[in-house]
Amino acid sequence: MANNSYSGVKNSIVEANHDGDFGCTLKDLRSLMELRGPEAISKVGETYGDTQGLCSRLKSSPIDGLSGQLADIEKRKTVFGQNFIPPKKPKTFLQLVWEALQDVTLIILEVAAIVSLGLSFYKPPDAKRDNCGRAAGGIEDENEAEAGWIEGVAILLSVICVVLVTAFNDWSKEKQFRGLQSRIEQEQKFTVVRGGQVIQIPVAEIVVGDIAQIKYGDLLPADGVLIQGNDLKIDESSLTGESDHVKKTQEKIQCFYQAPM
């Protein structure tokens, strides 16, 4: 993939319903990103004239990019949303405990423990007990019968220990993963053009209208429209399942899509 440029025209997830002073809304940009090939080119031509017209609507320059003024950046975040995917709500410890209890082996042990406890507390009538004792040729050991509940309780305690340990390990791993993911997102940067200067900014700080530069091996941080490129090829296997790299040109495919992060 050679050095290329595109105008990021759609943020990832967080949305707003305003159109502000811009010539297109978030809904318009989303509908554009849903098109590919000739349909996308036709849509850009009919609605915006060309990519230059789209940049004008977004108050961006294909050469100098955005002005980089803080007020303009904040306004774009308010109108179009921020370029990040909100993390899913973490599971509570009780939810992890419940998931651990769904293990088939633990369910069998739980049933066995309940049955064992039930049998240990069940006492047949005295007459039947005497007959059973005579038929067996001996007298039932009362101390052993009274201690029969220990086996069931031991099984239940074992299940509880396994469930708590499993839930705690899952909770600890999830906490570590979220911390690592947050650190990676904060450290990951991308090259954009602002005020005529090529700078690197955190991916979450990219806004609609930014002119970004793509180089070999970059992971696309947002959906976009190709403005200028030279032998641009993108791996879309995570989206389409096709292993071959897809070539992007202004004549064939205008829009390309964010790779899942």
Termini Cα distance of the chain: 19
3-state secondary structure of 59: coil
CA dihedral 42, 67, 220, 81 (to 10 degrees): -80
Where helices occur in the chain by DSSP H, the ranges are 26-33, 37-48, 51-57, 70-80, 93-100, 104-121, 126-136, 142-146, 149-187, 237-240
pLDDT tens digits for the chain (261 residues)? 334 555 454 444 344 444 557 888 888 888 888 887 778 888 888 888 888 888 888 888 888 889 888 899 989 988 888 888 777 888 888 899 998 888 888 888 888 888 887 777 666 665 444 554 444 444 445 555 556 678 878 888 988 999 999 999 999 888 888 887 777 677 788 889 998 899 988 888 899 889 988 888 888 888 888 888 777 888 777 777 777 777 777 665 444 444 433
CA distance 185 to 176: 14
